[in-house]
Every structure is written in C-alpha cells, then in structure tokens.
Structure 1
Amino acid sequence: MAAKPLRLLHAANLRLDCPLQHVAALHDDVRDIVEVATLTAFDRLVSLAIERDVDALLITGNSFDASVASLPAEVALRNGFERLDERQIPIFVTPGKLDPASAWLQLPALPENIHFLNDLEEPPIDLTDRGRLLATLLPVTVDSAVEPYELENLFAARAANATDRPFVVGLLLPDRPNVRNAPSARFAALDWLACSVDEATNELPLTDGVINAQHGPQGLSFEETGPRGATLLEVDGQRRVKQTLLPLAPVRWERLTQKLDGVRSRDDLLERMLAALERLSDLPGELVRFIDWKLDRTSAEANGWEADAAVTELGAALTQLTDQADGLRYVHRIQPLDPDLSLIESGHRELLTEYLLAMDRRSPVTRPAMTKWLTEAKIANTLKTGRWESWADAVEPATVASQAQQLGWDWFASMESK
C-alpha cells in the first residue's frame, strides 16, 4: 500500500472578530453575515482540516488583535483548537504584529495539541504518522542559518539514505530588529517556508524552498480582493509537491472597472455591469459580495455620472437586479467619474485645483480622532441607545474625504450655469 502523503493546511491573518470595513448601511441579514465573517472563516478552516485529514494545521501570525479584548475571538480559538485536538490534529502557531507572544501567554490554558513557536532556540519538531517520520518543522527568521550540512547531521540518526530525509518546513517568526544578528538574510535549506503575506513583504531568509505567503481566510476591505482561504500542501512519496488554495471566506471583495465608451443609456450601462458580474467565477461558500465599481471614460460623454446622486441611483438599481434575499447577497459601491476640469469655467479652474490640492495635502485623520469629533457633536443624544455607536464605527475617514472632494466638484460645476 502506498504511503499516506504528507498533508499540511496553512492559514494566516485570521484576525478573529476584527471588523470589516466599508460596510455601512447594510440590511440586517447581510450585517449578520458580515459581523461574524472572520469567525465563520475560521470555523470553516477547522472543518476543512478535519475533512481533509491533514497531518497538521499551520497558523502564521495575526490570529487576533491583542489591542482589543474580544471574548468571541478567544472562544472561537478555544473551540476550534479543541475540535482539532479531538481528532489528534496538531496545530503549529507563530505570533504576529497583532498577536505578539505576550498576548498568547496571557490566554487561559489551551489544548495540548498547540505548538507555539516563538524562540529560535526551540528544537525542531518531528511530525509522524504511526511511527513514520513525515516532516520536520522549525521556526526561522531572516537571520536563520539552516545549512545543508547541519541538516545532514540533524537527520543522520534517522535517515538511511537521502530519499528518506523528511520534508523540512520552516515557520517564519516576526522580524524583531532588536535581536537580529546579521545585516542581511542567511541561507535556510528548507523544502517549504510558511509565512503570512504581511511578513513576505519584509525580508525573508534565503532559501531554495517554496515560499508560501498566505493571505487571510477572510478579507477585511476592498484592499483584499479575490479568493481568500487556506493553502493545502500535499507531498507524495517521491517528494512531489502540490499546493491548492481552498476558499473559505463568506464575504468576497472585488474591484471592477466599467468603461462608458458606447454607453447609450442607464439601462445599457446596467446590462454591461451585469455582464461583468457574470464573468466572475463562483467561489465555494461565498455569501456576500462587495463590489467596488470605477466608471472609466476615454472619449465618452460624462452624461451626469460625475454626480453623487446619479451613481447612488445607479447603485440602487444594480442592487435590485443582483441582490438575492434567499441566495447570494450583493452590496455595490460606485465611484463617480473623476472631475473633468474642462467642464469648469476657466476663471474657476485655478481655485478648484487649489481646493483639490488642499484636500490631498491634508493631514491623515485617524479613526480615534474621527470618533472623538463625532462624539463631541452630541448628535447621539437624539438617537436610540447604541444606534449612534454603530454608525460612528462605520464612518471611514477616507470616505469622508472622498465625499468632501465630490462636494467641492459639485459646487464648482454648478457655478458654470449661474
């Protein structure tokens, strides 16, 4: 009988119970899905590990945000880890920027199947199946030196020949400049390196192995478009590697550009937008799609699409055509056309340009500052308890800035007809 292949499931950036962005003014049933999206993705991750009978689950960084106390995140972690412990599936966890080692150490005792990797001095961990050595896992950083001769010494007592050498997997630890020993990356003789996509943007150890820079199983904003899930790694007896991205996200983010050239009417534009949506491939498990539309023109007339009211009405019509109460839900965000200065009276163009430049030069506004301003406005006194807090959390500084730019454009454009 052929030996069971090595199967590892790699996830990163779980960000349990972290809020999704750009999600204001949703239907209640859609909001219910959105509010637990990261928890749903993690529950699916655990179920996937069990269904695929994996030898281990690897979770590299940012499992939760330690700066915000979250009971749902802690409960989800514990329940998921206990389910895997019942199936004797080990879990290898590394800390991240959001969940440093100190935060993990403060959690109540976790199941015994958890291997928390945070120290380069920790010895390699062997992964076995009925006494057969499948893989060796070890923590690495940009400074790690795992030399070929060191590997030979490491496995000499266990491997009769080169083909018996176990599959070597490195789990990347967060870069800590204060403890770095080398000015540049050192060589790490690994077969596979697991890290989060955030860590991959920084320095990596030099290796001839495959680097899997993993996205989170649930995107939080329009900056995280496309399929989101976990990577299944399968290695057969001949050390042939197969990687498969398995989607897990209940909420999907996409950015689409719709050209206006040749568009004759609003209905014509809607038909083209529907056709663009039909070209999107279906993803398993997706429940809600957030679509960010950009209208683009080269020589076409604006036909009023530079106005907020026009694109708001267009978005409402598109939602009515696509949103399915008992099926796939849709939320559309349509950006107005960029201002065309040729439409502004020549005497006002310079002033409008200065206005737009001033908006670009403004100091960035943080969410805490925005929340403070909204609270000081005392509008909450006229609303039901909790309603204002919900609205304030949904306000995005970037959205406010975009609307301010649009208001300026609308005002200058209206002066043309006066």
Structure 2
Amino acid sequence: MSRDAFRFVHATSLRLDEPLSGTGMLSPDDRALAEDATFYAFEQIVETTIGAQADFLLLTGNCFHSRTQSLRARVALEKGFERLAAHQVAVYISPGSQDPASSWRTLIHLPPNVTLLSDEEQEPVAVMRDGRVLAAVYIVASPHSDETKWSASGPTVMQRHQAPFRIGIVPAGTPLAWKDGRPVAINNLGLSRAAVTLVETAIADQTEYLALGEGLPRTEYYPGGLAHDPGCSQSLDGTVSGSRGCTVVNVPVHGSVTMDSVAVAPVRWETISLVVEPSHNWDDLVERMALAVMERVADNDERLWILNWRISGQGPIFDSLPDRNSQHELWELVEAELEGETDVRRSHRLISVENYGPVDSNRSAPTGLLRQFLEILDGLDGKDFDHVRQLMHKHPAFERMDWRQAKDLLDRTGFTGVERQTRELAARWLD
C-alpha cells in the first residue's frame, strides 16, 4: 500500500504541574522557573509542532496526575489543544498510568481536533489529510492490559489492519522493560506477560513505529520498524539527565523513518563525576570542574542547569569539601572561571563525597574481611550479574516508576561498572 510523506511530533510524560525535586537552594527567579518548567516545556512542544508543520501531535501518557486534579494542568492542556486546532493540527492521546482515560473525560475539555484512545481493544484511528489516509494509530498494550478481559475478537494488534503506515502505542506505565532490543516482563504477573505478548506481536507484524511512553529515552530497531521513547519533556529530578524534549518524526514516501530530537525543557540536570588526587590544589579542581561544564552544550531555550557533583578522591582539598563554606567558595570560583562561557544560569550541588580514589599500586594487599569479600567478587562474572538482573526484572516492586528507573540504571551501568563501584565501596568500608 503506497503512502504519503508526513510528519508528526511525539512527546510523553509531560507531568504537568508536578514539582521538581532535589534542586537545592534556588534564587527566587530560578525557583519560579522550576515551578513553571513543565508548563514551559509543553508550550514549546506545541510551538515545535506548529513550527515543524507537523500533521499531528502524539502524546503517549502521563500528561498530568489525576490524583492532584490540577487546574493549572487542565488550563495548559486546553490552551495548547486550542492553539493546535487554530493551525489545523490534530492531537492523539493515549492515557498512561497516572492519567487514565476516565480522568481525561471528566477533567479535560477535548476539542474536535483531539482524539483520545482508550485501550488495546479500540479500533485503529485513521490519520487523514486531504481525504487520504496517512496512518493508523492504535494502542498496542497499556498499563491495564488483561487478557482475561479481552473480547472474542481480541486486541487490535492481533487483528489484521491495512494502512499505509502503522503507529502502535505503548503508553507510560505499561508493565514491561526492554533488553537487547526486545520487550521483557518485569514480573510473573499476568498484566506484564500480556503486555509483552502484545508488543512482541506488533514487532513480529513489523509495525512501522512503536510509540513508547515511559519517559526514559530509548530507540530500539527491529525488522520493518522501530520503537522510540523521546523521554520526558522535563525531567523532575536528576534521574534523567541531559537535554529533554520531544521528537519530530519524519515519514517519507519511501525509505526509513528519520527522527530529530528537539530540546524544550528549561531546566536541565547533569551529574558530573570527578576524582581529586592528593596532589591537586584548588586551582586544579576549579579548572577541571569548569572544563567538565564546558564540555556540555546548552540546547535551545535551556535557562537553568542543576549540576550535581559526585566527587571522590583523597588529599587535603578533598577533605575540605564536606565543609559548607568550602563548597560555597568552590561554587563561586567555578562560576568565575565559567563567566561568559554559556548563557544559562547554573546551580551547583555536591551530592556525593566518597573518600576513595584510583587503585594505588603501592597500597598494601587487602586483609581480613576486605580480602574475603574481594575473593568472592573475583569468582563472579557477567553470568552472575545477568542472573541477578533477571531476578530483579521479575520482582513485583519494579512496577513502580522509581524502582523501574533503578532497574534501567542497572541495565545501563552493566557488569563492569557495577563491579568497579563495588570494589571502590568495599575498599572504603571493609578495609
């Protein structure tokens, strides 16, 4: 089936009117910016959609939290939808775990250009332009996918639907994870197994675009298509660092889909690790910190960087860091070094001071409990790590968002990183 070229914007986890946490002390202006950051990000998503001349905006869950019933979130969404309607831009929404379909229907006024998709059994919605079908949009799996409640015809993904381009949605809160490019269950419960089955079916059917909504940046390729999560539009804490925003998805007449990430978040988090050697003085430390900041480039409308410093090491300079006055002096020196380098404001926080450094070849061999622990660690390998990780994937606790973020961090760190950090901590606590 031939297709027309089109473009859409994919955004997820707007989390409107949810507070940023772990920012530390901020100036009044920066505090006001942090309070409005999620709204500013959504406004920029709307402007990006209009500026890119996109055919539609796709929102894949957790736009707001239904428990708070935030009036500000409601007003922001309705104003954004009305602005898109004025430019003849459609909006397709899949509810997430925090913003169920019932909340959308009762709390938000949806204009005619907005389509709310409810669950995996809803029929595909045709995206139209000038009387021609551009694509079919439907939910593949959801936070509440339960095969015991499916109708005789079953979920949409298990039925054959003809369309020039298919967009299957896996919204925020869907109980599955990804490993080696494939969906995996996060526990042995039926909801997770059902979600994995549905996503595997979509992949096997070569669904051209799987729109993920968890809010953790990810792109997985498979024969005939790809799965993509643009990440949250504004990170609420340091868990997700770097520039945050949305993705402009370009679908050509022929060939592969291309994607362009667009930063929209006004507040950016960065976690920077440094090691202080005994020979370092204040000038050395300040220079290294300034260089680490300058390696990062500000994107678009970023206004504030929250820099979380994780510093390890030894020596007089390192020993002075826990002192509040020393930290204040250090931040002032770093800012003086960075004057004129970037247009963004910065807030510094020392989140970790670990009294250990690189392995010293002159250090005496470990003894006692440390030696016994390291002998056990030497006997472990990547297979043991994978076994533990699989056990964690299956644990029911990982359905919670914060636990799932911890699991994803473990996946990204890998065996080598975990082993290195384990040895460093053991050297500190067991020696």
Change (3 A) 1:183 1:79: closer
Matching of residue 191 in structure 1 with residue 208 in structure 2: yes
Corresponding residue for residue 137 of structure 1: 137
Find the residue that maps to 2:320 and give its secondary structure: coil
CA distance in 1, matches of 2:346, 2:217: 32
Could you list the per-position Cα deviations for residues 343-375 of structure 1 after superposition, in whole angstroms to 9, with x for gaps in the alignment? xxxxxxx9xxxxxxxxxxxxxxxxxxxxxxxxx
Q: Give the deviation of 1:296 after TM superposition.
A: 2.5
Picking from 238, 249, 255, the partner of 2:254 is 238
Residues 315 and 332, structure 1, Cα contact 8 Å, conserved in 2: yes
Q: Tell me which residue corresponds to 1:121.
A: 121
Equivalent residue for 2:168?
A: 170
Q: Is the 8 A contact 1:311 1:336 kept in 2?
A: no
For residues 18 and 310 of structure 2, the distance between their equivalents in structure 1, rounded to whole angstroms, comes to 27
Partner Cα separation in structure 2 for residue 269 and residue 180 of structure 1? 48
Amino acid at match of 1:76: A
Q: Contact (CA 8 Å) 2:125, 2:137: kept in 1 or not?
A: yes
Is structure 2 residue 238 aligned with structure 1 residue 222? yes
Aligned to 2:61: 61
Change in Cα spacing, 1:133 to 1:263, as seen in structure 2 (3 Å) is farther
Instruction: Provide the rounded CA distance (Å) in 2 between the counterparts of 1:234 and 1:92.
Output: 17
Secondary structure of the 2:64 match is coil
Structure 1 partner of 2:319? 304
Would the alpha carbon gap of residues 199 and 247 (structure 1) be closer, same or farther in structure 2, given more than 3 Å must change?
Answer: closer
Quote how far apart the aligned CAs of 1:35 are.
1.3
Q: Hey, what's the Cα distance between the residues in 2 that align with 1:28 and 1:183?
A: 45
The verdict on how the C-alpha distance between 1:59 and 1:88 changes in structure 2, with shifts beyond 3 A counting, is: same
CA distances 1:240-266 after superposition (whole Å, capped 9, x unpaired): 210111111111100111221375321
Q: What one-letter code is carried by the residue in structure 2 that aligns with 1:191? A: E
Distance 2:271 2:166 in 1: 38
Once residues 193 and 60 of structure 1 are traced to their aligned partners in structure 2, the CA distance between those partners, rounded to angstroms, is 11
- Equivalent residue number for residue 15 of structure 2: 15
Counterpart Cα distance in 2 of 1:133 and 1:282: 39
| Letter paired with 1:169 | I
Partner residue, 2:35: 35
Q: TM-score, normalised by structure 2?
A: 0.67
5+ residue gaps in structure 2? Answer: 148-154, 176-188, 357-368, 370-431
* Alignment partners' CA distance in 2, 1:81 and 1:210: 28
Q: How high is the TM-score relative to the length of structure 1? A: 0.69
Please tell me whether the aligned partners of residues 307 and 336 of structure 1 are also in contact (alpha carbons under 8 angstroms). no
Residue aligning to 1:211: 227
- Partner of 2:88, secondary structure, is coil
1:337 and 1:219 map into 2 onto residues whose CA distance is 24
CA-atom RMSD in angstroms: 3.1
Could you tell me which amino acid in structure 2 is paired with residue 213 of structure 1? D
- Aligned runs of 1:48-127 on 2, under 5 Å? 48-127=48-127
Report the Cα offset of residue 121 of structure 1.
3.0
Give the structure with higher Rg (CA). 1
Tell whether the 8 Å contact from 1:270 to 1:318 is kept in structure 2 after alignment: yes
For structure 1, which segment, 264-273 or 230-239, has the greater mean C-alpha deviation from structure 2 after superposition? 264-273
Q: Distance in 1 between matches of 2:294 and 2:16?
A: 31
Matched, 1:279 2:295: yes
Offset at residue 108 of structure 1 (A): 4.4
How many angstroms does 1:20 deviate by?
0.7
User: Would you say how many aligned residue pairs link Structure 1 and Structure 2?
Assistant: 322
Displacement of 1:107: 1.5
Q: Cα 1:320–1:29, aligned 2, differ >3 Å: closer, same or farther?
A: farther
* Cα distance, 1:125 vs structure 2: 1.2
Aligned AA (2:13): N
1:192 maps to amino acid? Y
The 1:182/1:95 distance shift into structure 2, 3 A limit, reads closer
Looking at structure 2, the residues matched to 200 and 117 of structure 1 have their Cα atoms a distance apart, in angstroms, of 23
SS at match of 2:107: coil
Whole-angstrom CA distance in 1 between matches of 2:250 and 2:216: 23
Question: CA, structure 1 residues 169+335, in 2 after alignment: closer, same or farther (shift >3 Å)?
Answer: closer
| Partner secondary structure for residue 10 of structure 2 | strand
Matched residue, 1:288:
304
Give the secondary structure class of the aligned counterpart of 2:353: coil
- The code of the aligned residue for 1:56 comes to F
Measured in 2, the distance between the counterparts of 1:305 and 1:78 equals 52
